[in-house]
Amino acid sequence: MDELHELNRRRAFGHQKLLSMDSKVYKAFLEMEKATFSDGALSRKSKELVAVGISVVTNCESCMQWHIEQAVKQGATEREILEAIEVAIEMGVGPATVNARFALEVMDGAFKG
């Protein structure tokens, strides 16, 4: 849990620092984030679950923490979050199987040629 508290501390520090420095880029990012996670064809909860999966695949620990906590605040159940993580597992491994197909073709060519 200390690691999670440290992530929160660092996130809050960076957030406040960028705001105090009047970062136009960061302010634009916050507006984009607000628009991205607002309810639309997908609910905010659904969007947070998508973000959980992407966070796992991209190995962004701070993102995982943030989006899991946001998903819970939006009413996501433990099972829904687990399934988002499971989709990420498949998506993380899936590309390796595609790459393996290419490697097999290269290997086949190397032994034939």
| Residue 13, domain extent | 1-36
Query: If you average pLDDT over residues 99-108, what whole number do you get?
Result: 93
Query: If you average pLDDT over residues 2-19, what whole number do you get?
Result: 94
Supply the mean pLDDT for the chain: 95
Asked if 24 and 47 sit in the same domain, the reply is: no
Nearest to 84 by CA among 36, 39, 51: 51
Query: If you average pLDDT over residues 75-88, what whole number do you get?
Result: 97
Asked if 86 and 47 sit in the same domain, the reply is: yes
Asked if 52 and 83 sit in the same domain, the reply is: yes
pTM for this model (two decimals): 0.85
CB 4 within 8 A of CB 65: yes
Question: Could you read off the pLDDT of 22-67 as tens digits, one per residue?
Answer: 999 999 999 999 999 999 999 999 999 999 999 999 999 999 999 9
Asked if 50 and 95 sit in the same domain, the reply is: yes
Per-residue pLDDT at 1 exceeds 90: no
Asked if 21 and 68 sit in the same domain, the reply is: no
